[in-house]
Amino acid sequence: MTDWSVWHSEKAGRVQPSVISEMMYLVKERRALSFTAGEPSVDLFPLDGLKEAFNKAFSDPSVLSYHPDNAGLKELREWIVQWMAEDKLLPPWVSAGNVILTNGSQEGVNLIAEALINPGDVIMTESPSYPEAMGTFRKEGARFAPVLVDKDGPDLNAMEGVLQRERVKCFYTIVNFQNPTGCTTSDDRKARVLELAKSHGFFIIEDDPYRNLRLEGEPTDSYIRMAGSDDRVIYLGSFSKILAPGLRCGWLVAPSSLASKLVELRVSIEISLSALVQRAVYEFLKCTDLKSHLESLRSVYRKRRDALVSALREHAVPLGVRFDVPKGGFFLWGEIPGVENIYELAKFAILEEGVGFIPGKPFYPDGAGPEGSMRLSYAKVSPEEAKEGAVRLSRAIQKFREIEAALSQSGLAQLRK
Amino acid sequence: MTDWSVWHSEKAGRVQPSVISEMMYLVKERRALSFTAGEPSVDLFPLDGLKEAFNKAFSDPSVLSYHPDNAGLKELREWIVQWMAEDKLLPPWVSAGNVILTNGSQEGVNLIAEALINPGDVIMTESPSYPEAMGTFRKEGARFAPVLVDKDGPDLNAMEGVLQRERVKCFYTIVNFQNPTGCTTSDDRKARVLELAKSHGFFIIEDDPYRNLRLEGEPTDSYIRMAGSDDRVIYLGSFSKILAPGLRCGWLVAPSSLASKLVELRVSIEISLSALVQRAVYEFLKCTDLKSHLESLRSVYRKRRDALVSALREHAVPLGVRFDVPKGGFFLWGEIPGVENIYELAKFAILEEGVGFIPGKPFYPDGAGPEGSMRLSYAKVSPEEAKEGAVRLSRAIQKFREIEAALSQSGLAQLRK
């Protein structure tokens, strides 16, 4: 067949295959034990409730038409405003008119990127950060200004350094239980970042899919509320982590003048979302005690996190593996010292030992992280599987190190490079 | 609140509000009789079958996870290949690997536009053509080279003229019962356009949502099959017009090297579509006699078309209104002579007489069509409503002309301009 790649747009050339998708696909194909997925466990989906909600949604056949409101079902947008207000996340200017339903948060990131980024514009991101979001900004031609994170969020000195060098248009941040490091930005840091946003004139894109999966400690404030009437924060929320990602239902909150442009972009990208899905999500939320659903999720994830932490301490730490213990979300961020190619180790672990994780490299916007970093998700892993998975992972690390050592002695490693 | 429009990307500046969405919204708000919607009638949705199909889909809870195949559910893609092959639409190189499921055809257009168009690239389109598709190409910075259509499709002399002047990258065409004119490209024209595509080196984007809604005459061949091993045709199909648009489920067929790039773009735009929806559509198709469903759709639409045609002949033709009778699809394309501002007439008709249609102007890529053109859809209009709608439309035209005449006499029309 013809190779049409010379016909591709510059944009197409900037898009790369997703390493996360690749690993998840490989894990599924090999039926491996999986620490790969940043998604909730199948056994925790509120299956019966959602099924009933879809049946209810069908009682209005017009949900199968094009939905006349391209921002999404108004009742669900109003529910979201109410829910966020109860959680003290919103400034007074937000109403349902500022909320746009999305095909998951990723669509929110894309709408924002298409609306704000010209090729060459600078996006400041945490380093490491979520590769698929960075990929979307990269698609639109953004350059990245990475700011290292520690356990309290972005390093402010590093941020000030960036702002002296670069004219930054947006700061993209995952505020709670960050993907991949698990860190949460403290409210003190948020206040300081907001001051910088004002003085240097940049937008903040506050991505917050894990907020309701806090396993210990007190909830934090939000950038969007703390900014008050200074409406330079766009908030991204999602039902993917607390209901089910296969619904494809998230939302964003944006200032009015931007929101209408995002809706125009939505129409040109895909007209509208499924009104059926939006109606079903709304019917589900109306009839569900969401707070107790969230409490039961948290109690399961707490056990899973703790089980994985102790299994790794038993089996992987003796091999030199280091990791942070997150206070919520899905991810452990770790490092395997002395690994020369983490991507090859990740494939080796799936193919040879039947255990999958995500190599850390793609999480660094400039590719300049430590070689041995990795992301482990406990979201879909029972305590028993965590133990078995830690054993397999440790075996994979040992074997891979032996192979790397043997190759290096034989001089083949040089050839391979 | 702050006006952030100076922050918008160039792309955002190229996107305009959709006139079709505006008219559909206004019609719904005013509960007007509607000739606006290019969508199937609610009473023709296979509601019970779809409801059952969703219930079946829920029997596999993994449909609520991220779908591991970002091209979409493989079983449904295989079903589509089989279905298209039976309809003799496919060349031998097509397999399920060339099929990507989409959130409706519009997402297919967007993926193609993002993959192929650099700002300044030239898209050849029929004139008039579908505004939302043109809007998507415009978003990516395309320039348009319009080619007028007649009842057999694009005018070949006009096309050759364009190709002498411009380096065209793609030709976007709606092959059957075109939106808005209702014309169908004859196979002779297709053969000639394919020759031009080969000699001038451009892609053909064959958009074909109405194929199965032929109300008379014989089915035509497809560009993608006629091109054979010359894989420069991308085919867009949709379940929106034959099942329900609220599902948001369509597909595209692309050459392999392009298909993988389109999937990478999809991930960065929204990760994946709802596996639940895809599974439900597949479960529905597996258990449905689709051919007889289509036959019953056609028999209803045939009656609706004929009723609207005769109502217009009775009430509107005496006012000078002209229109073409399509052999399928949803649309009558007409002209109201002597109207100075069709957009104002369209709003007047909704607000004053309770009847909606789509003004023709936005369908012209260069805005240079006759002022009085309009699109009337009979898809959602029963024979009784067609009669009432034609009466209202005629009254609106008469009143509007009287107002325009009065304004013109008083000299106010000049002031208004």
d(CA A258, CA A277) in angstroms, rounded, equals 25
When the pLDDT of each residue in chain B is averaged and rounded to a whole number, the result is 95
**Amino acid, single-letter form, for residue A333:** W
> Which pLDDT belongs to residue B369?
86
Q: Which residues on A lie below 8 Å from B246 (Cβ)? A: 62-67, 274-276
d(CA B99, CA B95) in angstroms, rounded, equals 7
Q: Which token pair is B375?
A: 């699109």
Q: Which token pair is A199?
A: 């003085």
CA neighbor of B370 nearest in space, from B400, B339, B345: B339
Residues B305 and B323 sit within 8 Å (Cβ to Cβ): no
Min Cα–Cα distance to chain A from B387, Å: 24
DSSP per-residue letters across B344-360: HHHHHIIIIISEE-EES
- pLDDT, tens digit, 9 for 90 and up, residues A134-180: 999 999 999 999 999 999 999 999 999 999 999 999 999 999 999 99
Identify the residue among A3, A5, A8, A9 best suited for mutation to test binding to B, counting B beta carbons within 10 A and taking the highest: A9
Give the long-range contacts of residues A196-202, CB within 8 A, separation 24 or more.
A196/A156, A196/A159, A196/A160, A196/A163, A197/A171, A197/A227, A197/A232, A198/A230, A198/A232, A200/A163, A200/A168, A202/A124, A202/A168, A202/A169, A202/A170, A202/A171, A202/A232
What share of chain B in percent tops pLDDT 70?
Answer: 98
| Residue B338 per-residue DSSP state | T
* Predicted confidence band of residue A39 (pLDDT cuts 50, 70, 90): confident
d(CA A169, CA B184) in angstroms, rounded, equals 47
> Which pLDDT belongs to residue B412?
63
* Predicted confidence band of residue B122 (pLDDT cuts 50, 70, 90): very high
Q: Which token pair is A367?
A: 């590719």
What share of chain B in percent tops pLDDT 90?
Answer: 88
> Which pLDDT belongs to residue B340?
87
CB-CB: which of B7, B15, B115 is closest to A268? B15
Torsion of CA A393, A395, A397, A399, to 10 degrees: -150
Note the pTM of the prediction, 2 decimals: 0.95
A208-217, A401-410, B272-281: which has the minimum mean pLDDT? A401-410
Q: What is the mean pLDDT of residues A100-123?
A: 97
For A186, the 3-state DSSP assignment is: coil
Residues A1 and B231 sit within 8 Å (Cβ to Cβ): yes
**Amino acid, single-letter form, for residue B111:** L
Helix axes A47-57, A275-286, angle to 10 degrees: 120
CA neighbor of A153 nearest in space, from A233, A208, A235, A83: A208
- pLDDT, tens digit, 9 for 90 and up, residues B3-62: 888 899 999 999 999 899 899 889 999 999 999 988 898 999 999 999 999 999 999 999
Kindly report the backbone phi and psi dihedral angles of residue A145, in degrees, each rounded to the nearest multiple of 5, phi listed first. -120, 100
Interchain proximity B103–A106, CB inside 8 Å: no
Residues contacting residue A375 through CB under 8 Å, at least 6 positions apart: A35, A179, A180, A331, A332, A333, A334, A357, A358, A360, A363
Please state, as a whole number, how many other Cβ atoms lie within 10 Å of the Cβ of residue A302.
Answer: 16
d(CA A276, CA A212) in angstroms, rounded, equals 25
**Terminal Cα distance for chain B, rounded:** 32
What share of chain A in percent tops pLDDT 70?
Answer: 98
A103-107, A171-175, B81-85, B412-416: which has the minimum mean pLDDT? B412-416
DSSP per-residue letters across B128-177: S--HHHHHHHHHTT-EEEEEEEETTEE-HHHHHHHHHH--EEEEEEE-SS
Residues B116 and B257 sit within 8 Å (Cβ to Cβ): no
Identify the residue among A69, A270, A283 best suited for mutation to test binding to B, counting B beta carbons within 10 A and taking the highest: A270
Q: What is the mean pLDDT of residues A378-400?
A: 97
Adjacent-strand bridge partners of B353: none
Q: Which token pair is A69?
A: 């409101």
> Which pLDDT belongs to residue B368?
83
Residue B191 forms contact with A (CB below 8 Å)? no
| Residue A385 pLDDT exceeds 90 | yes
Torsion A220-A226-A232-A235 (CA) sign: positive
| Residue B331 pLDDT exceeds 90 | yes
- pLDDT, tens digit, 9 for 90 and up, residues B57-103: 999 999 999 888 899 999 999 999 999 999 999 999 999 999 999 99
Give the HSE-up count for residue B191: Cα atoms under 13 Å, Cβ half-sphere: 5
> Which pLDDT belongs to residue B413?
54
- pLDDT, tens digit, 9 for 90 and up, residues A290-320: 999 999 999 999 999 999 999 999 999 999 9
* Predicted confidence band of residue A369 (pLDDT cuts 50, 70, 90): confident
* Predicted confidence band of residue A367 (pLDDT cuts 50, 70, 90): confident
Interchain proximity B270–A103, CB inside 8 Å: yes
d(CA A225, CA A208) in angstroms, rounded, equals 13
What share of chain A in percent tops pLDDT 90?
Answer: 88
Looking only at the bridges linking them, the beta strands covering A233-238 and B322-323 are: unpaired
Element (H, E) at B283: helix B275-286
Residue B117 forms contact with A (CB below 8 Å)? yes
**Measured between alpha carbons, how far is residue B295 from residues B28, B213, B242, B301, B380 in Å?**
29, 9, 11, 10, 17
**CB pairs below 8 Å between A and B: how many?**
262
Place of tokens 């829910």: A83
Residues B257 and B58 sit within 8 Å (Cβ to Cβ): no
Q: What is the mean pLDDT of residues A364-379?
A: 92
Place of tokens 């890529």: B365
Interchain proximity A269–B269, CB inside 8 Å: yes
Residue A45 forms contact with B (CB below 8 Å)? yes
Q: Which residues on A lie below 8 Å from B230 (Cβ)? A: 2
Task: Sketch out chain A's domains with CATH numbers.
Answer: 10-45+292-416 (3.90.1150.10), 47-286 (3.40.640.10)
Adjacent-strand bridge partners of B377: B331
| Residue A72 pLDDT exceeds 90 | yes
- pLDDT, tens digit, 9 for 90 and up, residues B247-280: 999 999 999 989 999 999 999 999 999 999 999 9
d(CA B329, CA B377) in angstroms, rounded, equals 9
| Residue A405 pLDDT exceeds 70 | yes
Find how far residue A369's CA is from the centre of its chain. 18
Cα-trace Rg, chain A: 22
> Which pLDDT belongs to residue B104?
94
Min Cα–Cα distance to chain B from A155, Å: 26
CA neighbor of A113 nearest in space, from A10, A273, A278, A252: A252
When the pLDDT of each residue in chain A is averaged and rounded to a whole number, the result is 95
CB-CB: which of A12, A65, A70 is closest to B21? A70
In total, chain B counts a number of residues equal to: 417
Find how far residue A154's CA is from the centre of its chain. 16
Kindly report the backbone phi and psi dihedral angles of residue B400, in degrees, each rounded to the nearest multiple of 5, phi listed first. -65, -40
Residues A231 and A253 sit within 8 Å (Cβ to Cβ): no
d(CA A211, CA B24) in angstroms, rounded, equals 37
Residues B207 and B236 sit within 8 Å (Cβ to Cβ): yes
Interchain proximity B2–A103, CB inside 8 Å: no
> Which pLDDT belongs to residue A67?
87
